[in-house]
């Protein structure tokens, strides 16, 4: 009889435990990324390695194909969190929103674009771009502002020393480079490496290496979300931090294998090369903390491009309290 009662008790406990597990509900979060790029490898790794799931989060990932579109999704409540350039939060601040945007975790810490030339040039010098047709990025976006900053640092006036085109939609820039007489273009990975492999372009320089550390792409949300669902933001940040640490300690080929579902048309060898380029120039942030020095450098670049509406104080648009808590844990 005692054995029977023990068995019944064990079965009951097992049933209760199973019921508890099946009723545990994952928190659904809509995340809007500005574009699809190997540059965001830690984000994809966090999804594929189950780090979000471990934190009780079910991610619905949307690709906005543009910083303005990602921000619109966030402001219109179509996204809970946006992965986008930090400059967008500065633009929104000066529109006096009722629910200000807060940057709470950094994903990348350098520019992610490469200078691609139509013709090979093993001895490239920045002066080579003078008096050429240069296909730039969208006005007011970080790629374009960093591009102009690097050119100026090398003694080139982007609006006087070359033919600068800035009227192409972000998603159409790669195809425009192939179909126009543009001799140079700024491209993200894996597009830059793809063009190189196919003989359609040649990577001659890295804007990330020449522009220094800055909070290039960050996770942001509304102030109300930070206040009303701090636990969710903490869980999200934990998952990102785990992925950042994994990326830092893992070789490029293994990372490429994990994130390949997000780049189905890109061969593993090419994807590996793209990841390696970013690892070599330390583009992937190893912690979610957005530094004040980086924030100020970002505004210097914006100011030099003539795109800074007004100085945006670090402590008004950046909240590192959750990131620091996560790292202490």
CB 243 within 8 A of CB 55: no
Residue at 17 is within a domain: no
Write down which residue in 186, 211, 236 finishes a domain.
211
Length of the chain: 329
d(CA 189, CA 107): 16
Domain count, the chain: 2
Do 124 and 244 share a domain, yes or no?
Answer: no
**Parallel, antiparallel or unpaired: strands 217-222 and 101-108:** antiparallel
Give pLDDT < 50 ranges for the chain.
Answer: 1-23
Within a 10 A sphere around the Cβ of 91, how many other Cβ atoms? 19
Does one domain contain both 83 and 196? no
Cβ-in-10-Å burial (0-12, 13-18, 19+) of 127 comes to: exposed
Write phi, then psi, for 311 (nearest 5 degrees). -60, 135
Q: Based on the domain organization, do 141 and 285 belong to the same domain?
A: no
**pLDDT given at position 29:** 97
Question: Tell me, what's the pLDDT at 121?
Answer: 93
Domain-embedded: residue 18: no
Report the candidate in 296, 288, 293 with the shortest Cα–Cα distance to residue 321. Answer: 288
Could you say which of 190, 211, 232 is where a domain stops?
Answer: 211
Rounded to 5 degrees, what angle do the CA atoms 180, 185, 189 make? 120
For 143-206, the DSSP string reads HHHHHHHHHHHTT--TTTSSEEE--S-GGGHHHHHHHS---EEEE-TTHHHHHHHTTS-EEEEE
Cα–Cα nearest to 277, from 37, 85, 44, 47: 37
* The pLDDT value given to residue 24: 56
Same domain, 193 and 74: no
Do 45 and 131 fall within a single domain? no
Domain of 265?
27-110+214-328
Q: In this structure, are 226 and 80 located in the same domain?
A: yes
């Amino acid at each position: 009889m005692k054995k029977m009662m023990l068995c019944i008790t064990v079965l009951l406990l097992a049933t209760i435990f199973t019921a508890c597990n099946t009723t545990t509900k994952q928190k659904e979060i809509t995340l809007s990324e500005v574009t699809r790029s190997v540059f965001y490898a830690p984000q994809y790794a966090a999804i594929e390695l189950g780090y979000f799931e471990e934190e009780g989060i079910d991610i619905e990932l949307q690709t906005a194909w543009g910083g303005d579109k990602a921000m619109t999704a966030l402001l219109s409540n179509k996204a809970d969190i946006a992965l986008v350039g930090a400059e967008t939060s500065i633009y929104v601040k000066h529109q006096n929103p009722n629910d200000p945007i807060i940057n709470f975790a950094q994903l990348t810490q350098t520019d992610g674009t490469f200078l691609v030339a139509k013709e090979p040039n093993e001895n490239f010098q920045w002066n080579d771009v003078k008096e050429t047709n240069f296909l730039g990025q969208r006005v007011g976006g970080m790629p374009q502002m960093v591009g102009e900053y690097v050119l100026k640092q090398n003694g080139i006036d982007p609006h006087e020393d070359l033919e600068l085109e800035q009227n192409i939609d972000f998603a159409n820039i790669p195809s425009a480079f192939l179909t126009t007489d543009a001799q140079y273009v700024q491209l993200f990975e894996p597009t830059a490496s793809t063009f190189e492999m196919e003989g359609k372009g040649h990577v001659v320089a890295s804007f990330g290496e020449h522009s220094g550390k800055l909070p290039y792409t960050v996770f942001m949300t509304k102030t109300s979300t930070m206040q009303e669902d701090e636990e969710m933001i903490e869980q999200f940040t934990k998952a990102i931090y785990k992925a950042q640490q994994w990326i830092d300690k893992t070789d490029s080929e293994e990372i490429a294998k994990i994130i390949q579902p997000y780049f189905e048309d890109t061969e593993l060898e090419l994807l590996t090369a793209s990841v390696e380029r970013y690892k070599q120039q330390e583009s992937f942030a190893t912690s979610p903390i957005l530094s004040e020095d980086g924030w100020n450098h970002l505004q210097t670049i914006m100011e030099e491009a003539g795109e800074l509406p007004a100085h945006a104080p670090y402590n008004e648009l950046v909240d590192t309290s959750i990131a620091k808590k996560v790292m202490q844990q």
